[in-house]
Amino acid sequence: MKVIELYILRRTLAIFAASLSWLVLIVWTTQVLNRIDLVTSSGQSAATFFTVALLALPAVLPVIMPFVIGIAVAQTLATMNADSELVVINAAGSPRMTVIRPILIVAVAASVAAFAINNLLEPYARQTMRQILARANANLITTVLSEGTFHEVDDGLFVQVSKRLPDGLLGGIFVADSRDPELKLVYHARRGAALEREQGSVLILQEGEVHRQTAHGEISVIRFDAYAFDLSEFTNGSGTPVLYPKDRYLPELINPDPNDSFFAHKPQSYRAELHMRLSEWLYPIVFALIGIAVAGDARSFREARIHPMITTMTIGLLVRWAGFYAGNEAETKPIFAFVLYAVPIGMILMCIGFIATNRVMELPAHWTERLLSHLQVVSERLVRLRARFLASGGRA
């Protein structure tokens, strides 16, 4: 590798490492805050909380890695252009691959890392996290749940106990179940008890009602003397959780267990997850090529109306949004499985076309004008806010 290529490689890696550190810290913090209720409401130790927080990290890395690559490439090339380094490289007769090759090395390495994390580290982290959460929920009703407080046992499943009675009985039990978007259920019972069995946890309700509301607005009320509410869908007595497609390793997605209840009910979810795993690793390469197509040519900054990083991130966000949308739709519509591959591969071919023909990839003129106007408004508001802050501080 030439000296100039090593120079570009080091600069790109330095910006990549710095951007990755900051973005991981920001996104990971939001994920950690979402899990803080594990300690406050489930009675778990701080060690368990930090373990869950650490296990959330592998799910964050593959999502932000393409954006980090885009930032590193756009910033490196824009800085080299501003310092006239790209002009010198071109004037020296160096081929364009001198600039492109080190960037592609970083992008390919990031893609390989994203594939490994998605298919090896993330499934392990998700399964371990679900086991911890399942054990936390296993004794939730009987030992942890506070009187008069709502607790989210699972997404869309809330439980409240008005008071605790002698002999482990519960009084005034309220359960709201909206996990099924087609059916909403509300249970209310005067008393009950939580029982543990080999098949899973069961909440026994006595002297109560079940309110059912369908997606069409039809409402029905059923009274009962005794009702067993099964909690084993998300945990059982041994603390073993139900695993979803995102929790599975790649071989399990390629050849799923036919006895898996989730696969039996939603086989397309497994297929959609498999296609997402096999296509999402391409996005670091996509973002790197977008950065090269936007800022890879030596040009005067007087020609560019907005910074190349803004253009790169805007185009990258649109492409990534298309991939996320196709992934969501693929869970119910098999045709979108092809879109999952078409989006990154199509963008790669488009970027190669721009690079090969020495054209600069830019946003449409009206998009640029609108974006600049919004940035101007934000800038003016920040200036006014700063002025008010300084004025109030001066008076103080």
What is the DSSP annotation of 354-379? HHHTTPPP---HHHHHHHHHHHHHHH
Work out the widest C-alpha separation in the chain, in whole angstroms: 88
Asked whether 129 and 38 are in contact (CB, 8 A), the reply is no
Give the end-to-end CA distance of the chain in Å, rounded to a whole number: 60
Cα separation, 72 vs 288, whole angstroms: 9
What length does the chain have? 396
- CA dist., res. 15 & res. 291, Å (int): 14
Nearest CA to 287 among 25, 65, 99?
65
Q: Provide CB contacts within 8 A for 252, sequence distance 6+.
A: none
Q: Starting at the edge strand that comes first in sequence, how are the strands of the sheet with 183-197 ordered?
A: 150-154, 157-164, 170-177, 183-197, 200-214, 219-230
For residue 83, CA distances in Å to 80, 313, 314 come to 5, 22, 24
Could you tell me the mean pLDDT of each successive run of 10 residues in the chain, 396 residues long?
86 92 83 64 63 83 92 92 85 85 94 93 87 63 59 75 76 83 86 69 82 85 83 50 83 86 84 92 95 81 68 92 92 91 95 90 72 74 78 58
- Are 74 and 309 within 8 A, CB to CB? yes
Pair of tokens at residue 94: 């160096």
Q: Any long-range contacts for 320-324 (C-beta under 8 Å, 24+ apart)? A: 320/66, 320/67, 320/283, 323/279, 323/280, 323/283
Task: Estimate the crossing angle of helix 308-330 against helix 365-395, to 10 degrees.
Answer: 110
- Predicted local confidence at residue 239, as pLDDT: 47
What pLDDT does 326 receive? 93
| Residue 385 one-letter amino acid | L
CB pairs under 8 A, 24+ apart, for 173-181?
173/203, 173/205, 173/208, 175/203, 175/205, 175/229, 179/154, 179/155, 181/215
